[in-house]
Amino acid sequence: MPERIKILVSACLLGENVRYDGGHKRDLFLNETLGPFVEWIRICPEVDCGLPVPREAMRLVGDPDRPRLVTSRTGIDHTERMECWAKTWLDALSSLDVCGYICKKDSPSSGMERVKVYGGGSGVPARTGVGVFTRMFMERFPRIPVEEEGRLTDPVLREMFIERVFCLRRFRDLLARPLSRGALVDFHTDHKLLLLSHDRRHYEEMGRLVAAAKTVSAGSLFSKYEALFMAALSHKATPKKCSDVLSHMMGYFRKMLSTDEKQEMIEVIDQYRRRLVPLVVPVTLIRHYVRKYDVVYLSRQVFLNPHPVELMLRNHV
């Protein structure tokens, strides 16, 4: 059994009763669907930094760029306590090889974006804050994908996040082997069509980096590649870009398919482009021909198999 991918997660989303009011915010998708494929590393910044359950609710106050973490009624400032604990905790986390972080939206400790910040002139809170712990996490590990449970209800954002998590895992597996330029070329080749479905510009820049591999030290090469790889995957894979990739793949079967079969594939790709059927439909058809005609180059393409089918991430239109 390969090791499961480790994902950091806000403990209240797993159903732990750690919220200020003694409750939880158990998330069905995380627990029932994603859970079997990952190993959760749970965290509750407020409880883990020493605050009790139940406790007074907190909020972000002051400078929108660097707000303080303050109790809502009594005004006790817990920023230093949280930052001190988080610094040590994040040091320890470096060795755990976490490939993603799913955090609780709107929380002054755990939120990723648009957390309310109080104290501006108008009296209306600005939706500009980031939870204190999550801000520190993102500053410390800028290449690890982060997402909120609320945004994960959007099927496009959900697919993007999980795809990035699985991609980062594959890249880390590559790093765990002796660093070899040949292995990086293979990795780049296998991810070509996936990268093109996200962002051609990044793909081409990565190609130039790989081509000049001999002129760069291995450490610098792999680090630059990882930065570009994760940046490329943060671009949305639109139906237009994915259809272009699918049409490109179809070119590999031109001589093998009958006129009818080609017409069927063109129609299915077009239906996907027009958002009449989900991506899983043309991908399943292409995978069928890849297997039938044993097209080795395509069978290695991560685009056809970026994450477990059981997650059903490509079943939306």
Q: Which positions touch ligand SF4 (CB under 6 A)?
A: 10-12, 18-19, 44-47, 104, 107, 109-110
Burial of 159 (0-12, 13-18, 19+ CB in 10 A): buried
Q: Which residues contact 74 (CB under 8 A, 6 or more apart)?
A: 56
Nearest approach in angstroms of CB 58 to ligand SF4 is 9
Provide, rounded to whole angstroms, the least separation between the CB of residue 127 and ligand SF4.
Answer: 17
Q: Which residue in the block uniquely carries the two structure tokens 């997402």? A: 147
Q: What is the 3-state secondary structure (H, E, C) of 191-239?
A: CHHHHHCCCHHHHHHHHHHHHCHHHCCHHHHHHHHHHHHHHHHCCCCCH
In angstroms, give the least distance from the CB of 141 to ligand SF4.
Answer: 17
Q: Using the minimum distance from each CB to ligand SF4, give the nearer residue, 10 or 197.
A: 10
Contact 300, 190 (CB under 8 A): yes
Q: In the complex, what is the shortest distance from the CB of residue 19 to ligand SF4, in angstroms, rounded to a whole number?
A: 4
User: CA Rg, the chain, in Å?
Assistant: 22
Q: In 103-180, which residue ranges form alpha helices assigned H by DSSP?
A: 132-140, 155-176
How many whole angstroms separate alpha carbon 172 and alpha carbon 5?
11
Q: Least distance in Å: CB of 82 to ligand SF4? A: 9
Decide whether 10 or 243 has the Cβ nearer to ligand SF4.
10
Identity of the residue, 51 or 232, whose beta carbon is nearer to ligand SF4 in the bound complex: 51
Of the pair 46, 199, the CB lying nearest ligand SF4 is at: 46
Closer to ligand SF4 by CB, 104 or 202: give it: 104
